[in-house]
Structure 1
């Protein structure tokens, strides 16, 4: 189940780079994602969910502006890949080691790869879906808002599955 969730959180990062870490940070803050013993413990620090939520909200607002570069340019694409990889690794590393059949390093690697692949799928698939929606609606904003909703609701669904 967790490799699939790692892939899916990567897809969310591919749609909106900051929504995935914000969701995981809230999950850590609520105690659903146990990261206190790993290098990603900062996700659960008291101010981090609020900070990442502000960044995610800024991303959602700025994404509506036509001047924002394509998600497929190197900086935007790279940010989404890093976000997906880190979020995927966080999901896998937070597993209870007593129930896992992998070493901590193997779990981190599996989560990183699943998150990275999910971010590629989310970035490219999201761009295609948004372009298709823009053609159907004859403007970009309805598709962008639907993509925002998909990212936020998907992230909520993933962290809810961990509760």
Structure 2
């Protein structure tokens, strides 16, 4: 029953930052914590995949702070976050034969993370009087939540 909970947490991470959850899942697969060998997501554990995804996630962290970055609630951003959360959930589900539970939990977590993260960041921006501190706190929360979740595997 732990896999749906972990997939939900990784989904929340994907709702906060679309690529962070996938990068952490890729590192878990590469380090052997998440056994994806002989699955269609085995590429997440390949030698260069975690590095590439980490660079992409880092780029997303920087891009998120730019003034012209669109809201995570517009359809393209929202769908991307749900897809990433679902893929992370599927990876967790595949590794433990709980595919459907992982898929659903990852998707649901990403929806919760997208809306919850948006509200929390708006509240933080109001509290701090500007957006940057709230965005940085959300970055730390996303990374910390993903690392915590994968450490429970």
Matches within 5 A, 1:1-150: 1-95=2-96, 104=97, 107-150=98-141
Counterpart of 2:149 in 1: which secondary structure?
helix
- Select the structure of larger CA radius of gyration: 1
Cα distance, 1:128 vs structure 2: 0.1
The total of aligned residue pairs comes to 152
Distance in 2 (CA, whole Å) between partners of 1:92 and 1:8 is: 13
Encode CA deviations 1:119-147: one digit per residue, 9 max, x unaligned: 00000000000000000001000000000
RMSD over equivalenced CA pairs, Å: 0.7
> Which runs of at least 4 in structure 1 moved beyond 4 Å after TM superposition?
none
Cα distance, 1:43 vs structure 2: 0.3
Q: Please, which runs of 5 or more residues in structure 2 have no aligned partner?
A: none
2:147 aligned partner: 156
Provide TM-score, normalisation by structure 2.
Answer: 0.97
Q: Please, which runs of 5 or more residues in structure 1 have no aligned partner?
A: 96-103
Provide TM-score, normalisation by structure 1.
Answer: 0.91
Cα distance, 1:110 vs structure 2: 1.5
